[in-house]
Structure 1
Amino acid sequence: MSNLRNKVQLIGNVGDSPKITILESGHKVARFSMATNEYYRNAQGEKVQSTEWHYIVAWNKKADIIEKYTRKGKLIAIEGKLTSRSYVNDMNITCYVTEIVAYDILLLDSKETSTLTNEKLVEAETQQKNNSHTKEVEASEKSGTKKSQTRSRTRKNRKETNSKKA
């Protein structure tokens, strides 16, 4: 249960195109906003949509994934932890920020990239099926010849047994 103390899971849409920064240390960081929607009925029975905005931070490999595959409006799932920090802005005012540091990212609505990926997957699966079918045919041909050889031996043995009995 200790790993459930600070855990956030969200499914929502990317708000703006992610801002990618490479720090002096060489680490890559992606920052973006994410909108989650909740629907409910008000006192009059009308359906109401409530949108919450969250600020997401992803580091290194996760930042690479965000940079390559997400754009404004894409549906994604995030799992991470809630963090708070403060900084002093240009006007010497202390600002407080609460954001989610992403541990896991799942791309749910990447139609452009998934089309290419799905095409590659289909090609690979088709090739695997063809290869396995070819192997099955070869195996059945080999076993077919073995079966026919076994059958003819069995028939010979039966004939010999029957002729000895007679």
Structure 2
Amino acid sequence: MLNQVALIGRLTRDVDLRKTQSGKEVGQFILAVNRSYKNAQGNVDADFISCQVWHNADVLSKYTHKGSLISITGQIQTGSYDNKQGQRVYTTDIVVDHFDFLESKSSGTQPIQNNHQSQQQNDDQTPIISGDDLPF
């Protein structure tokens, strides 16, 4: 069985870096990923995908910000919990195994390589979401 996801997109906000009770760092973020087709109005829609990063979460948090273009690979993880009203809430997240920075922090356009991750190239068929396209 295979459960692997590869995405390229932009952070919708800065990575939310937290520590577990045992002191392990975890980062949570939403990745805006353009769809590969246009809607009826001729625009490209985006999906907003919830992600968690455990390995090198501090590095991702330190070197990215809202609008940063990154690539990730990981697995889909589903879960559920009961909210305050007693209703069951189902969740779907990508648990990130690997990430790459696809532009420099200062210029916002040039690919860079991170010491902890190897760089992956964006192919010409993947649409790019600019930071100005984010709704928040």
* Contact 2:63–2:105 (CA under 8 A) maintained in structure 1: no
The aligned amino acid for 2:4 is K
Structure 2 length as normaliser, TM-score?
0.71
Question: Which string of whole-angstrom CA distances, capped at 9 and with x for unpartnered residues, describes residues 79-135 of structure 1?
Answer: 000000112223332211100000000011233289xxx8xxxxxxxxxxxxxxxxx
Structure 1 vs Structure 2 CA RMSD: 2.2
How far apart are the structure 2 equivalents of 1:12 and 1:42? 19
Task: Tell me the secondary structure at the aligned position of residue 21 of structure 2.
Answer: coil
Q: Percent identity?
A: 33
Measure, in 1, the Cα distance between the counterparts of 2:31 and 2:84.
26
Q: Supply the distance in 2 between the matched residues of 1:42 and 1:19 (Cα, whole angstroms).
A: 31
Greater RCO, 1 or 2 (C-alpha within 8 Å, sep 6+) = 2
Give the TM-score of the pair, scaled to structure 1.
0.59
Match of 1:98 among 92, 102, 110: 92
Count matched residues: 109
Name the CA distance, whole Å, in 2 between partners of 1:42 and 1:89. Answer: 34
Q: Partner of 1:71 in structure 2?
A: 65
Q: Deviations over 1:120-163 (max 9, x none)?
A: xxxxxxxxxxxxxxxxxxxxxxxxxxxxxxxxxxxxxxxxxxxx
Question: Are the equivalent residues in 2 in contact too, given 1:70–1:110 (CA < 8 A)?
Answer: no
Distance in 2 (alpha carbons) for counterparts of 1:92 and 1:41: 39
Structure 1 residue runs without a partner (length 5+): 119-166
Q: Is the 1:75–1:110 contact (alpha carbons within 8 Å) kept by the matching residues of 2?
A: no
1:56 aligns with 2:51: yes
Give ranges in structure 2 of 5+ residues lacking alignment. 113-136
Structure with greater strand share of residues: 2
Helix, strand or coil for the counterpart of 2:66?
coil
User: Higher helix fraction: Structure 1 or Structure 2?
Assistant: 1
